[in-house]
Amino acid sequence: MKAEPSLSIGEVSRRTRLTERALRLYEAEGLVAPSRTAAGRRVYSLADLRRLQQVQILRRAGYALAEIRGLLKGRDFNAAEVIALHLGALRAERDGLERSIALLEGAQARLEEGAAQDAEALCELIRLAERSLEEENWRKALSRYWTDEEQERWKAALSAAFPGKCHEQAGQDWLDLTARIEAAIAKGAKPDSEAAMALGQDWMALQQPYMDALPHYWPRMAQMYAEMDKWSHLAKPPFSKAVLDYVKAAVAAGRAKGVIPPSKYAIDAQGNPILTET
């Protein structure tokens, strides 16, 4: 009878190519629970490896960590379910690739025949190239501030904070508020005016779910947008530096006048926000 495997975190990382940081993150998120030796070292069993496989397949299928935790709570997928999920994810990827390949092959054939591209085909090709480029550029921008594991944790926290289509609505709310701030700037409204401070209140209200999701991560997000000049050549920020500077001044004015509550973040010697309340 074959002995039950008993692997250290280093061995699991080496054999699966999951980083040790990712393995610790999965444990912290309650997705896997390896046992411990008397010395406190993690030991992964066959059941732990099965659970890690399930986590990776669900991630590949597009689920966030919080959603995976809910799916796996109190149950264990059988082999048929795991294979079905994996096949579903791979088929979705294949279908997307096949659509892109067909589009590009059609464009190539028309070029070889000397035929002109029609407007619809050209627009679709532009969208295809732009979507790929945008995703890659945002990955590069975010990687300046976040590891892959931290991005995954942030994504999971936001998924819990904005279930269903709530995140899409939040995105629209940000677009609407940005447009209102740009209009106030165009009208010459002073940052300490009542109208500007009301915009500052709305800004803080929209920020609150993001701040609550992972409060210790929020300072880095604030730093990222304060430094948008360093990465805006890669990915287009959702608002301009002028909008950010204006609303910061409006929020500061609102706090000075007691209209907006004080922040639970303070500014350290290097100018970075740090959490002062837990």
Band of the pLDDT at 212, cuts 50, 70, 90?
A: confident
Q: Answer for the pair 64, 156: CB distance below 8 angstroms, yes or no.
A: yes
What is the second-level CATH architecture of the domain 9-72? Orthogonal Bundle (1.10)
HSE (side-chain half, CA atoms, 13 Å) at 235 = 20
| Residue 42 DSSP code | E
Tell me the pLDDT band of 274, cut-offs 50, 70 and 90: low
* HEC profile of 186-226: HHCCCCCCHHHHHHHHHHHHHHHHHHHHCCCCHHHHHHHHH
User: Residue length, the chain?
Assistant: 278
Domain positions in the chain are: 9-72, 148-275
Write the pLDDT tens digit of every residue in 3-56: 566 889 999 988 888 888 888 888 888 889 999 998 889 999 988 888 888 888
Instruction: Give 278's pLDDT tier (boundaries 50, 70, 90).
Output: very low
Structural contact between residues 227 and 270, judged by C-beta atoms closer than 8 angstroms: no
Q: How many whole angstroms separate alpha carbon 147 and alpha carbon 69?
A: 21
Which H or E element spans position 43? strand 42-43
pLDDT in tens, 121-161: 556 555 555 556 566 777 788 888 888 777 777 777 776 66
- Residue 164 — very low, low, confident or very high, per pLDDT cuts 50/70/90? low
Confidence of residue 263 (pLDDT cuts 50, 70, 90): confident
Pairing of strands 42-43, 265-267: unpaired
Distances (CA, A) of 255 to 4, 86, 136, 204, 277: 61, 51, 38, 11, 17
Q: Are 27 and 56 in contact (CB under 8 A)?
A: no
Instruction: Provide the token pair at 68.
Output: 């995976």
Tens-digit pLDDT profile for residues 63-93: 667 778 877 876 666 667 667 766 766 776 6
Q: Is the pLDDT of residue 1 over 50?
A: no
Which one-letter amino acid corresponds to residue 27? E
